[in-house]
Structures are given as structure tokens and as C-alpha cells.
Structure 1
Amino acid sequence: MTPAVPVARRSKSLSSQIGLTERIFSSAEDRATAADIEKGLALVEEGLLREVAFADGIADVTSRYLLSAGGKRVRPLLTLLTAQLGDGTTAEVLTAAEAVEITHLASLYHDDVMDEAEQRRGVPTAQSVWGNSVAILTGDLLFGRASKLVASLGARAIELQADTFERLVLGQLHETVGPQPDEDPVDHYLGVLADKTGSLLGAAAQLGVHFSGAAREYEEPVLLFGERIGVAFQLVDDVLDLSPKVEETGKVAGTDLRAGVPTLPLLYLRRRAGEDPAAASLLERLDTAIADDSPALPDAIAELRDHEVTAVTLAESRRWAGEAVDALAPLPEGTVKKALTRFAEAMVERSS
């Protein structure tokens, strides 16, 4: 029997998604901007449901599976927000927002196969339900649908999509292969995050500027913002991976560590182990507990959570978020700049 598609979840409001306060939306102009974005998000959600529908029965079910399971829709939100620097939510901006979210969705199907993940968005991953081949092919179908949307926007959109897709694949390739002998593991990891997460967030922001008719000189600042905030976002996720609050994180503490996925706290710990006996001892206990799936693993994870390397990871996340905000300097003062700044702050506040 084919599993049912999860019940579609209502998208969160703009304020809850990026932590915007009434103070930011204090003026009539700010409130009008927020209303336009809220309306745009609703239209994007309708468009996503329409665009991931397939005439083929199995393809229709598998392609809608993760979409209906939920998601923050951060990438469409960035597209709609930066579009406010120009003509706002135009038809082309909506198409771009849909394309970038479907691209993200497609990448999740592939990532979960490569990571052998068991859950995504609170439901079993696609390959857990249908197997690796169906999950990979579903991702391919969604990449194809995203490409069709992008093609309708013209050559510039196709170029941006191709560049971003190349970076997504290179990021996954570099993560899979690991750092080269002459490469610093931390620098390698940050580069992977910039490609795997930052590139698509940057493209989402850039597409909003381009297809709203905003000034061309705004494209580079929002691109840099998206790339840097993507790294900050993932570094906070590395810290949240150590959290025992399953009801908030949606996963067991140390899920990434158990799966062999590198995280910055662990990489920092490995770097310190050569000089710090206490760090070396904790690293050995972690490696042994992970390899043996030992009952001692939760205690070792808790010790890593309380270790200085985790605090250093949070500081690094805040540094990336700060550099993201710094990139916005060329943008005009107003609602968009304030909202993007608040967006960056909300990303790193998730760890508290």
C-alpha cells in the first residue's frame, strides 16, 4: 500500500518565521510591506502544491511527500523580502520563489539518501518509505520541475540556477570525500556549508532583487547576505544537534554525530585533542561510544554540549551572522534592511 502524503501544514506567519517585532513594523509603510510578503507567501504555497503535482500516480505521491510535511519556506521568504527593494511581489518573483524552494526540496531527497537519514520534518524520509532509487528519482523529477520554472524566466535565471546547482553538488561532493591531506578540516567544513546551504539562500535573495526590477547594485549585497547567513544557520544547527530537547529540535541528541556527519564542535574538539589531554579523552570516549552505539553516548554528548568548543561554535555562528548584516551596508535604510537584520539575529537566537 502506498503511504499517504502527510497533511499539509499551514505556513508560519512572517513574524514567526523571522522573529520580526511590532517595533519593526511600526510604520504604515512597514505594515504594508509585511502584508505584501504575507500575501506572497500564501501564493507561493499554492504554487508549490500546483507545481509538484504529477500526472503519474507514484510520482505525484512521492514528490508531494516532503512538501506536505512542512518546512519553514525560508528561501521563498528571502526572495519576497528582497523583492521589496523593487516592485514587490511580481509574477516573476513568485515564479522564482517557487523554483528556489523546489530546488531546495529536491536536494533534501538526495541528501537524505546520502546521509542514510531516517526522519525529515517529523516524518520518515522518502527512502525509508520507498527505497533509495525512488527517493533519488523523485529528487531528479523536482530538479526538472524547478528547471522548467527557471527556464520561463529567461537566460539570467537559468544562469543563476545552473551556478547554484553546481555549488550544491560540489558542496555535497566535498562533504562526501572529506578534506584533502593539506586542507584544514574546519576551513573545509565551512566551505561545504557555504556551498550546500549558503549558495541557495544567496540565490533566493538575489532572484528577488533581479526579478522585482530593483537596482542592480543590490544583487551582490543580498547574495553575500544569503551565503553568510546560511553558514550561520548551519552552525547553530550543529549546536542544536547536541540538545536533549527532542520536542524542540525534532531529533535525538547527537543525531548527526551518530550518523558520522561532521559538525563544528566535533571538529574543534579534534583540533584541540593534540594539545589538550581532557579534549583528547572526551574525543576518544565519543568516538568509541559512537562506534559501539554505547549507552555511554548520551553522557559523552552532554559533555560535548557543555564543552568550550560548543561555545566557540556559537561565537562563530554569530560572527557569520554579523558579516551577513555587514554585507547589507549598500542597501537603503528601511523595512527590508531592518527585516534582513532581524532575520540574521533570529537565526542565531535559535540556540538559546
Structure 2
Amino acid sequence: MKLTNAADTATQALPMRLFRGAQDRRHAQRVQEQLELVEAGLIEHLGFASDVADAPARYLMEAGGKRIRPMLTLLTSELGTGPNELVRRAAQAVEMTHLASLYHDDVMDDAKLRRGVPAAQTVWSNSVAILAGDLLFARASSLVSGMGEEAILLQAQTFERLCLGQLHETVGPREGDDPIAHYIQVLADKTGALIATAARMGVMFGEAAAEYADPVTEYGERIGVAFQLVDDVIDLSPKKEATGKRAGTDLRAGVATLPVLLLRRRAENGDAAASELLARIDAGVARIAAGEDPALLDAEVEALREHEVTRETEAEAKRWASEAVAQLDALPKSSVRRALERMADSIVNREG
């Protein structure tokens, strides 16, 4: 079965970019074929007899996505005997968990768009979107329940970290906390944890050597943080075709991304230019929250995009990706290891 939704182009191209050479291309073909089986399984597992549940539960899956997590599960399984039924089930479970978290995140953030389509709560309601996410969490747990005690515990621990990350983001740093360290920990919990689990499950169910489990887990967590830091930069991009949304969407919504946090730290340390730009941003965000036109922050978005703090964010993303690749030193040199290295590189150099 071929991929038929908006994930097609990016998902089908990525395996070929990760594997090179004749031997590598055979790996790429197998990963692509297995990814199509995973996609078919997602369609099956997200079907509900009730029409009330079926449409909302399928909504974000059908909107597409890069399928980074299931692809990573398939890739790390190649360190052992390769994909099998349990590997595919693990890949489906991590993607369903990810999709479920998106429903909840969009309600928490009052997001208007997700993957180029209206966010689920704008189509139905907050309650329906939350319950749709709960249904996906339940289906993911059902899949994992037959995969052994270790998998069940790993799924539960990952779910806990997703919730803690969202809670800490919602509450914000407490007095005395370093806002930047707090932000990075939120990224590690909300994004890194699940990508780490995706990588670990590939080793577990691909019958790879047990000593590979911890290195790929650390790799996954770090590329998850790098992924989100790159998103902070992409948010400021004027390339609408790459982002699928207006430049500065997070900024206009008052989201404290790393460029803003770095700008605020400079202002607190006496940087007058940073203080002036930050004051303009804060005033604009307040006016937008009061109902004024979001376009009034266009100049500030451009100024932040060109500011040194955005270059610092790019450098920080690359540092996390470099640390991720360093974890792979524990793996044997192989086409799979090279593919994982290229995945980290593709994450920090993407434009959307």
C-alpha cells in the first residue's frame, strides 16, 4: 500500500537521502516498504465504528506529517534483524502517541493551524479534540499492551514525561529557575522523550544487541531537542511554502521560544538594543492578544530573525545534534549508523 496523504513527498524522499550507495539503497527500499506498512496499520488502528469518534481520531493522521518517529524505529531495528511485526506495532504506537499529544497541545496553545489544516478544536471543539487525543492514547496503549512488560513500562514512562513537559510549559519557570534551562527541559520532555522511545523500541523489537539501547535512546532525546530548536528558527522564516504558516506565528502568540528567551537574557544583562526590541515585541504581543491585527509585529519578526540570538539558536540546535551523533560511537560502523548520522544532519538543516 502506498502512502496517500500529505506525508507522501517528505516521507518517501527521506529514506533515499539517509541511505546512499547500492547496499544502502536496499536498506532504503526496505525502510520505505515497511513505512508504508506502518502507515496502513495506522489507518486501520485509527478507525472507529462510531462516526462521532472516527472523523476526529483520523483527522491529524490524514493531515500528514514527516513520520520521523516510526521511521526512526524502523531504522534502529536494522541494527538487529530488521523490521518485523512487533517493530511495526511499536512504530505505530509511537506515532499514535505523538498524534495524540498534538491534539492536546493545540488545545492548550489555542492553535489555529496544524500541518496546514485547521486545528482539530477549531473544526469540532476543545472537548472533542481532547477526547480524540485520549482515544489515540488508548489505542497506542492497547498496541503496546501485548508487547511485554518492558514495553508497557516504557510507554507509561514516556506518557508521564509528555504530561510533565506540558505541565511545566504551562506553569512556566518558578522563581529562581533559569528560564532557558527550564525551556530546554520542556523540549526534552515534550519532544525528546518520545523520539528516544521510538529509537529504543527499534532496538528492543528488532532483536539488536542490548548494549545499543541506551546510545540510541540518548541519540533520540538529543535530536528531539535539536528538532524543536530548529522549529524556533523556522517560526521566524518568511518562506511560507516551507512553514505552512505566517512568519512569527509563535512570537505573535506570545510563545517564549529560545530566540526570545536569549533576547530577554541580553536585555536583563544591560543590552539596550535588546531591551528596545523586546519592549516592542512585548507591546505588540499584548496588542494582538487584545484583538489587534497580527501584522503589526511584522517589523519585529524580521528584526528578531536578523538578530544574533537567532544565530545562537541555530548554533544550539547544531550542538544538540552533534551530541546526538556522538552517542552513535557505541554502534558499529555501518550503513545504519551513517543513516542515523544523516538523519541528525537533515533535522538541523531543514527549512520546514
Structure 2 match to 1:71:
65
**One of 220, 223, 240 as aligned partner of 1:246:** 240
Q: Under a length normalisation based on structure 2, what TM-score does the superposition of the two structures give? A: 0.95
Structure 2 match to 1:41:
35
Is 1:284 equivalent to 2:282 in the alignment?
no
Structure 2 match to 1:328:
328
Is residue 194–residue 231 contact of structure 1 (8 Å, CA) maintained in 2?
yes
Structure 2 match to 1:11:
8
- CA gap of 1:85–1:189, structure 2 versus 1, over 3 A, is same
Report matched runs for 1:113-128 at 5 Å: 113-128=107-122
Structure 2 match to 1:138:
132
C-alpha deviation, 1:290, in angstroms: 1.4
Is residue 6–residue 64 contact of structure 2 (8 Å, CA) maintained in 1?
yes
C-alpha deviation, 1:184, in angstroms: 0.3
* CA distance in structure 2 between the partners assigned to 1:288 and 1:18 by the alignment: 45
- CA gap of 1:146–1:15, structure 2 versus 1, over 3 A, is closer
Is 1:312 equivalent to 2:299 in the alignment?
no
* CA distance in structure 2 between the partners assigned to 1:305 and 1:81 by the alignment: 35
Report matched runs for 1:87-166 at 5 Å: 87-166=81-160
| Cα distance per residue 1:236-279 (max 9 Å; x no partner) | 00001111111211111111112222100000000000210000
Is residue 15–residue 32 contact of structure 2 (8 Å, CA) maintained in 1?
no
Q: Under a length normalisation based on structure 1, what TM-score does the superposition of the two structures give? A: 0.95
- CA gap of 1:172–1:18, structure 2 versus 1, over 3 A, is farther
Is residue 7–residue 66 contact of structure 2 (8 Å, CA) maintained in 1?
no
Q: Name the SS of the counterpart of 1:85 in structure 2.
A: coil
Is residue 14–residue 37 contact of structure 1 (8 Å, CA) maintained in 2?
no
C-alpha deviation, 1:296, in angstroms: 3.5
- CA gap of 1:292–1:19, structure 2 versus 1, over 3 A, is farther
* CA distance in structure 1 between the partners assigned to 2:128 and 2:14 by the alignment: 32
* CA distance in structure 2 between the partners assigned to 1:305 and 1:107 by the alignment: 28
Q: Name the SS of the counterpart of 2:302 in structure 1.
A: helix
Structure 1 match to 2:338:
338
Q: Which amino acid aligns with 1:25?
A: R
Is 1:265 equivalent to 2:262 in the alignment?
no
- CA gap of 1:17–1:38, structure 2 versus 1, over 3 A, is same
Is residue 100–residue 146 contact of structure 1 (8 Å, CA) maintained in 2?
yes
Is 1:20 equivalent to 2:14 in the alignment?
no
Report matched runs for 1:176-195 at 5 Å: 176-195=170-189
C-alpha deviation, 1:27, in angstroms: 3.3
* CA distance in structure 2 between the partners assigned to 1:15 and 1:349 by the alignment: 18
C-alpha deviation, 1:156, in angstroms: 0.9
Is residue 13–residue 38 contact of structure 1 (8 Å, CA) maintained in 2?
no
Q: Which amino acid aligns with 1:243?
A: S
Q: Name the SS of the counterpart of 2:78 in structure 1.
A: helix
* CA distance in structure 1 between the partners assigned to 2:184 and 2:324 by the alignment: 15
RMSD (CA atoms): 1.5
* CA distance in structure 1 between the partners assigned to 2:338 and 2:57 by the alignment: 36
